[in-house]
Amino acid sequence: MKNKVAQRQLLRWKRSQIDPVELGWPRTGRGRNTHGLSQAQVAQALFVSERTYADLERGEIATPTAELLDSVAKVLRMSESERAAMYVYSLGHQPPTPMDPLAGTTVYPAWHQAVRTVTGQPCFIVDVAWNVLAANDDFIRMFPRAPEGPEALPERNLMRWMLLHEEAREHHLVNWEKDWAAAAASQLRTAVAAHPANEDLQNLDKEIDQDPVVGPMYRNPTMDYVHPDGDASPVRHAGFAEAGAACNKQDRCCDKHAPSQLGTVTMCVAQPLASPGARFFFLVFTPVSPPTRTQSGAPGVGSA
């Protein structure tokens, strides 16, 4: 199907779903069996000429402005996915930002249930500001804890934990500065720029910028990193206990924390389609043997 045809069908269908009376027009003699808004009524609601809207609906405007498309989306009460389709048909690309300023801050309840039922590998969902919306038990068990302490998320906001918490920097996220911090800081910079109205992101921006350790890295825009999908990074997994695994040799990162398993985590990332900005992470953990140590306690030759 050509884009012009798809555009025309989408806009005609959306017009047909809206009763003109709902937008303040009186019932007229357009015909007992005629439903929905007319092109003239849509044009009037948009404050444009009827010809302008008719040309848009037919796909005859080569490059309609984002302002016009967004106004059409509001008048025709489009969902995020319908608006995205209109952008693709009209301009050949997705809209740069969601229509709803709260988009990406929630997910459908079914996502919560789906995540909780996953076992065997950690998985979780974060909103556009990295607040955890849902997580399974395997993910919660990953985090370092006291020897007799409970299994719990140390921080609702994962970006704040990754970049500001001492246990993330020094214990859980191995090679923190090289393999974690620079990439996370770059992701946060991009998100702050893309969502200037998000209060959580703006607060994170101030906290990270003022931190003496990660602040200089955050203010350095030389690294442009956005998508973690497929990345593998070294980490300690406090809840890994695969029976009979050859590399299942837990050790202590310090006296403060219970034994944990050294390994790498590969991030498989997807987006709930109805929540642009939210992200679903499935973490594939691969254990490795911790470094061997000499009699003096110094690290010796090992596979880590």
Give the span between the Cα atoms of 188 and 193, in whole angstroms. 9
Res 29: pLDDT: 56
* Domain co-membership, 132 together with 232: yes
Same domain, 152 and 245: yes
CB 52 within 8 A of CB 43: yes
Rounded-to-integer distance, Cα 164 and Cα 215, Å? 10
**50: CATH:** 1.10.260.40
What ranges make up the beta strands (E) of 107-229?
A: 123-126, 132-135
C-beta of residue 118 within 8 angstroms of C-beta of residue 136 = yes
Distance CA 174, CA 34 (A): 65
- Decide: pTM greater than 0.75: no
Q: Which tokens belong to 14?
A: 């959306």
Domain count, the chain: 2
| Domain annotation covers residue 137 | yes
Instruction: Please check whether residue 239 lies inside any domain of the structure.
Output: yes
Distance CA(251)–CA(261), nearest Å, equals 7
In the predicted model, residues of the chain with pLDDT beneath 70 are 1, 27-34, 221-228, 241-248, 290-304
147 with 242, same domain?
Answer: yes
* Domain region containing 123: 109-180+224-287
Give the pLDDT confidence of 252-265 residue by residue, as tens digits: 888 888 888 999 99
Give yes or no: residues 87 and 113 share one domain. no
**Is 45 exposed, middle or buried, given 0-12, 13-18 or 19+ CB atoms closer than 10 A?**
buried
Pair 29, 162 in one domain: no
